[in-house]
Structure 1
Amino acid sequence: MSTTPSPTLLGAILRTVVRGYQVPDMAVPTGPHLASPAARLAMTIEQARQAVAHGKVPDVSLKRRFVDALAGMVGEAMHPDSGDPAFQAMVLRQRMAPVREFATLSARAEGDRRVILSAVNAVAHPGRQQRMAPGWQREALADLHASAASSSWSALRAIAQRLLDSPDSGNGSPVAIGLARLLDNAALQRLQRMETLEADEAVRRHRSLWDRAGPRPGSATALARGVSAQQRGAGAEALAEQALQALVQRLNEADGDDGLYRVVTSLRVPASIPASHERAKTEWDVVLLRRAPVEAMPAWDVCLLVEVKASVDAATTDFPRLLRGIGLLAHAKQDAAYMFESRQGTVCLRGAALSALRTSEPDLQRTVLYCCDARAEAAPRLLSAASRMQLLSADQSLAFASHLAANQHADVAMLEPVWHLLLASDRWKAVLNQYSTLRQVRGLMVNTEDLLAAIRQAVAKG
């Protein structure tokens, strides 16, 4: 049983706050065409999970509904106009060898580019050029540097070769040695091959599909979106902090002690907690603390851990990290105290309260909130984005889609191995449990305005 402080008033507020993002028990489909393929998949997967949970083997009719729904979802994703360009790019990569080669080269292109820029700077840095006498060689080195800056790899090779072949290059000179190393560099060969592949029709189609899927990493559009997302996130966190500050005021009034509760933000877990921090949440957005009953030193106990999400779906993606984060905190030693950094400064938290944290559903209901300022959807998506992508990315799904793309017959039986993976593979457990996880996460989520309303209602009741 958890010993984490949870005063009566706080518990009452958490029980009464509107949970507008909740999703119901999964409905059982009554016909094959009453929902989208993705929704039918979610329903079928949940029925399979329930069967497995009760020690039963899902029946053959359930498998048939699963493969039919998966085939339908693949077909939707492959539609030339309304389909999923990211998935279509994956299928094109599987079908076309030049696309696979281009994708492999692209994955290491940024590192290769840095290697070549460094090699070019060694012989043609603008500072080095300035120390040379005017003439064709200095101009050629300037062109070499410009070609590297503009990622013109074939032109770069031609210029470097011309410089090296010139009688004026001086065999054995530092410039000649640097040019020879540049021309022999495997990174330049890969970049030049990638440049050649860019003219391939299938590669151009692949790049076009990725452009439709979203801005490329590092592009101006991607950076602008990142800045916008950070701003939205900061605004959502500020609103959640405001709600928790109102809660602190109400709790302190109820206990007649202005300093009994406090709020800290960006609470960072110290390395001194003896457990692995890998893939665990190590920074908590907003945390409600209660002064610990310790006279020897000022210390605090965790009452409520609040994570803020600007979008509804982000919480489901975040949930595994949150569970690992609570597990990390629970490894605190009961008789120890830990110094946590936050935006409000260093705070000392008792290990006794941290070690009492648990990840059971009832414990999470008492100690965790996901706050969101986005509206709840009228019809929540039943199949999570991560589960959808894992289902589509399965080798069998890609092979099925490749048949569709080639206008060949695609037998849905090709997809049956995905069903067996879903039931037997540890890697597919998250997909099998995806709806029960969705329900649990949505049960922990509140709209920040609803939380403020519940606090104001508690204040009005006095």
Structure 2
Amino acid sequence: MSSPALLLEQILRDVPRRYRLPQEAAASALPRLHANPATALALVIEQAREAMAHGGAPDAALKPRFVESLAAMITEAMHADSGDRAFQAMVLRHRATQVREFASLSAQADQDRRQIHAAVNAIAHPAKQQRALEAWQREALARLHSSASVAHDEAHYAGLHETARNLLDLPELAKGSDFERALEDLRDSPGLARLCRLEALAPDPLVQQYISMLDAYGPRPGTPAAVAQGRASQRRGAAVEALALQALEALAQRLNAAQEHSHAYRVVSSMRVPASIPGTHERAKTEWDVVLLERLHAKTFDIVPVWNVRLLVEAKASVESATTDLPRLMRGLRLLAHAEENAVYAFETQQGPVRLHGASLRAQGIDESGLSKTVLYCCDAPAEGASRMLNAASRMQLLSAPASIEYASAQWDGQHADPEILGAVWQQLTQSPRWHAVLNQYSMLRLVRELMVHPDDLMATIRDASECAPGSAPGSQQYTANERPC
């Protein structure tokens, strides 16, 4: 009977990595440099990073290639029919003061709405209406509450402002009363003023064009379409997580079958990191989707067993979401590494609390060789849909650089746009710490895809391993699920 540890190592080694990228970016897509500006940028940036990683300066020839590719990507994004509406909206915001004001007010509109409706409820909640002793006051409170409801449903906050102003003119209203002061605070509220200004700006033709661009890009936050999209995304993520859980449960069964103690391995999901682990929890992954655990001292029969972490799995519906997640995952691993070696920590999971040994938490590696043995991203997206070499966040940071916006703005006016101004972006990329994520984006993307497996491939590899004779590990070669020999 083969060792479960060796069997786990074999399965992780043999599972096909259909999302894998070439190790050397420069050799991967040179014939396509002029066909795909984003790919060309990714390759140039990676070549610059490699030179800098070895202590040198980027080759002088890389800068003009970068400028040319960035200019082409901007031109592509500005195309009237097939361009990037989010970027075009950004350029319009740069060009028009009323659009900038509208965007700024929109960014805090939800908070302003919540504050205004809390203020109205504090004055005119239906329960307060019932407690009012005089008919005129009950009518005034009802008018105010109704006006706030209309403002919320129809975005008519100017009407709410007018209602508050009219109520202040009522002859029955006692001067200096709490009711008068509350109405004055509402009427003069900066939040209500901002919402009224937002409504006043909305009919402007350029603002309407801006809204149209945002709507074409996708539903705006807070809209019913955005809520529906969010729910669909949650369902999609839950489905991938269920596939990952199913695959790891099959893996645990296979590992248990490979040795004499049938309950040495188990799987938990939604494993939450306790506050008792020292270190920075902020911006770190503190909940792990699916985790394979091995019982410490499996031959003993402790009433409350202690477990070691053997594999951490994150379920993602797309390569893009995993790429965005990687920095948080790395911070999560560094957090686990702060565990005390001989301590036992209680983690809450979907299956109930589990006690984990600190030494196994500390052992979760953050270098590439260590990650490949302890972390997987599970994704069921088609591999052909994962070919983007410049991730969305890096692309948007390049497009939103001030020089890029200026270049695009000149194109908007039909003027000659001088690509040389984009040299400022190259300088920032190669010198500013703020651009570190963009400079390293290809190496991070390559690492994410190296860690990523399809649940079907993982299940097939587990099944094939169970059908192979003990000791017949196929070595370090990579096979498809149907080709792996026994």
TM-score of the pair, normalised by structure 1: 0.93
Select which of 222, 233, 240 maps to 2:226: 222
Contact 2:26 2:47 in 1 (8 A): no
1:148 Cα offset (Å): 1.8
The 3 A distance-change label for structure 1 pair 271 and 379 is closer
Q: Distance in 1 between matches of 2:263 and 2:452?
A: 28
CA contact (8 A) 2:9 2:373 kept: yes
Contact 1:6 1:303 in 2 (8 A): no
Residue in structure 2 matched with residue 38 of structure 1 by the alignment = 38
Percent of paired sites with the same residue: 55
Deviation at 1:59, TM superposition (A): 2.6
Distance in 2 separating the partners of 1:350 and 1:104: 49
Q: Is the 8 A contact 1:140 1:159 kept in 2?
A: no
Q: Which range moved further: 409-418 or 165-174?
A: 165-174
Q: Any idea what the Cα deviations from partners look like across 1:49-89, whole Å, max 9, x if unmatched?
A: 12212222223321001011111111111112111111111
Q: Which amino acid aligns with 1:231?
A: R
Where does residue 450 of structure 1 map in the other structure? 457
In structure 1, the partner of 2:316 is 309
Structure 2 residue aligned with 1:22: 20
Shift of residue 147, structure 1, vs aligned partner: 2.5
Contact conserved, 2:19 with 2:386, CA < 8 A, in 1?
no
Query: Does residue 192 in structure 1 map to residue 187 in structure 2?
Result: no
Question: Which stretch of the first structure deviates more once superposed, 279-288 or 291-300?
Answer: 291-300
> Equivalent of 1:241, from 233, 239, 245?
245
Partner of 2:81: 81
Does the CA contact (< 8 Å) of 2:309 and 2:356 recur in 1?
A: yes
Deviation, 1:341, is 0.9
Q: C-alpha displacement at 1:255, in angstroms?
A: 1.1
Does the 8 Å contact 2:339/2:359 carry over to 1?
yes
Q: 1:346-402 CA deviation, whole Å, 9 max, x = no partner?
A: 111111111122211111111111111222116711111111011111111112111
CA positional deviation for 1:134:
5.4
Task: Tell me the equivalent position of 1:252.
Answer: 256
d(CA) in 1 for partners of 2:436, 2:4? 33
Whole-angstrom distance in 1 between the partners of 2:4 and 2:426: 43
What is the aligned partner in structure 2 of residue 414 from structure 1?
421
- 1:399-438 correspondence to structure 2 within 5 Å: 399-438=406-445
For the residue of structure 2 that corresponds to 1:167, the secondary structure is coil
In structure 2, relative to structure 1, the CA distance for the partners of 1:124 and 1:299 (3 Å cut) is closer
Q: Is the 8 A contact 2:37 2:70 kept in 1?
A: yes
TM value normalised by structure 2: 0.89
Aligned to 1:261: 265
Structure 2 Cα separation of the partners of residues 160 and 426 of structure 1: 51
Q: Does the Cα contact within 8 Å between 1:144 and 1:160 map onto a contact in 2?
A: yes
Matched residues in 1 for 2:198 and 2:133: separation? 33
1:373 and 1:325 mapped to 2: Cα distance? 23
For residues 402 and 437 of structure 1, the distance between their equivalents in structure 2, rounded to whole angstroms, comes to 32
| 1:24-45 Cα distance to aligned partner (Å, 9 max, x none) | 2324465686421111111111
Gapped regions of structure 2 (runs ≥ 5): 470-486
Aligned residue among 278, 281, 298 for 2:282: 278
Rounded Cα–Cα distance in structure 2 between residues aligned with 1:271 and 1:58 = 44
Moved more, 350-359 or 11-20: 350-359
User: For the residues of structure 2 that align with 1:53 and 1:118, how far apart are their CA atoms?
Assistant: 54
Give distance in 2, aligned partners of 1:49 and 1:360: 18
Number of residues paired by the alignment? 457
Measured in 1, the distance between the counterparts of 2:294 and 2:32 equals 53
Q: Which residue number corresponds to residue 71 of structure 1?
A: 71
| Selected match of 2:402 from 363, 373, 395 | 395
How far apart are residue 210 of structure 1 and its match?
A: 1.2
Q: Which amino acid aligns with 1:260?
A: A
Q: Which residue of 1 aligns with 2:171?
A: 167
Correspondence for 2:475: none
Q: Partners of 2:31 and 2:423 in 1: how far apart?
A: 21
Q: Pick one of 316, 320, 323 that aligns with 2:327.
A: 320
**Equivalent position amino acid for 2:163 in 1:** I
1:178 counterpart SS class: helix
Shift of 1:47: 1.3
For residues 66 and 124 of structure 1, the distance between their equivalents in structure 2, rounded to whole angstroms, comes to 60
1:109 matches 2:140: no
1:377 to 380, 384, 388: 384
- Cα separation, 2, equivalents of 1:352 and 1:450: 31
Name the residue aligned to 2:336.
329
Shift of 1:428: 1.0
- Is 1:441 the counterpart of 2:439 in the alignment? no
Deviations 1:137-164 (A, max 9, x none): 7555534323322322222222222222
Alpha-carbon distance in 2 for matches of 1:87, 1:244: 41
Asked if 2 retains the 8 angstrom alpha-carbon contact of 1:9 and 1:251, the reply is yes
State the Cα distance separating 1:327 from its structure 2 match: 0.8
Determine the C-alpha separation between the residues in 1 that align with 2:438 and 2:465. 40
Give 1:272 shift: 0.8
| 8 A Cα contact 1:299 1:349, kept in partner | yes
Q: Distance in 1 between matches of 2:52 and 2:238?
A: 42
Kindly state the Cα deviation for residue 118 of structure 1 after the two structures are TM-superposed: 2.9
Find the aligned partners of 1:161 and 1:30 in 2 and give their Cα distance: 67
Partner of 1:99: 99
Question: Which residue identity lines up with residue 16 of structure 2 in the other structure?
Answer: V
Distance 1:419 1:175, change over 3 A: same
Aligned partners of 1:6 and 1:366 also within 8 Å: no
Match of 1:433, as an amino acid?
Answer: N
Going from structure 1 to structure 2, the CA distance change for 1:331 and 1:204 (only over 3 Å counts) comes to same
Q: Deviations over 1:185-205 (max 9, x none)?
A: 222222211111112222111
Q: Is the 8 A contact 1:312 1:376 kept in 2?
A: no
